[in-house]
Structure 1
Amino acid sequence: MASIAHVGYGYWGRNLARNFSELGVLDTIVDPDPDAAAAAAATLGAKAAAFEDVLSDPHIDGISIASPAEMHFGHAMAALKAGKHVYVEKPLALDVAEAESLHETALRSGLTLMVGHLLQYHPVYVKLRAMVEDGEFGRLLYVYSNRMSLGKFRREENVLWSFAPHDISMLLGLFGSEPSHVSAQGTVSHTPGIADMVTVQMHFPGGGSGHIQVCWMHPFKEQRLVVIGEKAMAVFEDSEPDWNAKLKLYRHEIDTSGPVPMPQKTDPELVAVPRSEPLRNECMHFCACIDQRQKPLTDGIEGLGVLRALQKAELALRENLEHQQEQKDVR
């Protein structure tokens, strides 16, 4: 069984550490705050150590990284060079060249490199993606994802980098390719230079399109993925408290035989999905990849695809915000 060291016991890192502990694989906690690391280790039945000590510990098989995003590349590369398998929270890195270097290093060393795109391990999304791949929707026409809530506001990154990696990962998975074109618009309302709401449009080589809307100043929580295909439509409502109602299938048809397309509506069908926790599934998958030498579902290649789309969206967003500022200056 894999032995895991976890780096970063913050807002999200503590959830990863807890899951690895409950799986019986957590060996060590690393955190910049030694007292926090020691307290967490005592709670979770692990030990606390410095990052350098973890790298040199032959007992450690893999390292889970949930440090601040700007530290992902440095921590992951050090771990790979030390011969450790690596799980790194999204984003894989902040720069495509750095992400490519991580992927190449892992590949050359025969090590696991896995990215924390959590929704890929959500059983409802897994079911939805399988339905798409089985042809139940026909050709995908349009897919969109909304991820909105009130907070958590950040100063170190905008809402695009904080929220959208999950949604980009899902859209790329459904369409089976990276987008051929990406555009973005946003709004800065509270912290100078930090976008609080962003909309990203993507067009894919097969002719399908989609958009993502992310916002942390929304009056209520909404996590909704909508898939529109030639043969059927579906809604994955992750903010729906009733598990059995999270995935609804609509077998609507559009009659195009006349001069004007006419919809033929049907009642939604609830799609049964066995319940399990996405984060637990993700942590189990990382351990299985180490123990059984499996290829991660969200490997370096998948992480690179998401990062390339993110960077294109960030460039488009900057242009949009600069244009907005120019218009304000003129007025």
Structure 2
Amino acid sequence: MASLNHTSFSHTVFILVGIPGLEDQHMWISIPFLISYITAIMGNSLLIYLIVTERTLHEPMYFFLSMLASADIVFSTTAVPKSLSIFWFNDREISLGECITQLFFIHSTYVTESGLLLVMAFDHYIAICYPLRYNMILTNFVTGNIGLAVLLRSIGIIFPIIFLLTRLTFCRNNILPHTCCEHIGLAKYACGDIRANIWYGLFVLLSTVVLDIILIAISYGLLLQAVFHIPSKNAHHKALNTCGSHVCVIALFYVPGIFTIPIQRFGHNIPSHVHILLANVCALVPPMLNPIIYGVRTKQIRDRFLYVFFPREKWLWRMCPRRIIFQMLSRQD
């Protein structure tokens, strides 16, 4: 009877520890969290504003970039405020419903960003290999449908996780050693069989992130093959420079995760707070740096930024080439 009562009990409230073992350092740890969050929100919001207000940026490449910036804002807002609440106010409690909602948005947004990076790789392939047919292939209608398809894919593939978690009975420890909720991290505290959760989590990883990485590699392989068949060296440089920002963002998004997964799987001797810090670095750094990378390396965005935030020099934009103006402003700095 005692056993039946134990297994029928289910926790409805969980405790997020934050960074286990570093509780006394939470106030200091909150500083980079806050800086990264403010930078991500301001940088991505500015990027969206520039793309929306500048007609010359109303192209598929920049529409996809604005979608990526929107996903970064959602991802950061889902994960960081709760972490700061833990660090500042010791607000560790989170209900089961809130925990499942948080992990749903975190996982679905991550899958959305992975899909957008794949779409942007496809966009670069079309722009470089089929420049004359680019506007015919990627019309505004097609661009909107692709963005919608990426969003529906992420929601559709993550949504079953809600049912896989709500069917479980959480009768074990309700202490979650993390700053936020995640699928398997929550499921392992269930008393029932979680093999369906494990296998479905693996299916999600393979069918989205891993598949996207493979398709991105194929896309860039075909792109590079086409680029190096062009006789002009200037064309080589221009094509590779066009892809530079995207390659940096791809590396920033995927590489930390590639190194983190084996560390989590085989690094049993590594302290738990190191695992949590690495996971947070993977989550915080890309949304913070993505708008900076695109703002610095993309001439059209950089020019629009200078035009909006240097109103005294607007008369120069009507009289001089933009390249000369940028050089003048750079010298003034």
- The TM-score with structure 1 as length reference comes to 0.24
* Greater relative contact order (CA < 8 Å, ≥ 6 in sequence): 2
- The TM-score with structure 2 as length reference comes to 0.24
Structure with the higher helix share, 1 or 2: 2
Structure with the higher strand share, 1 or 2: 1
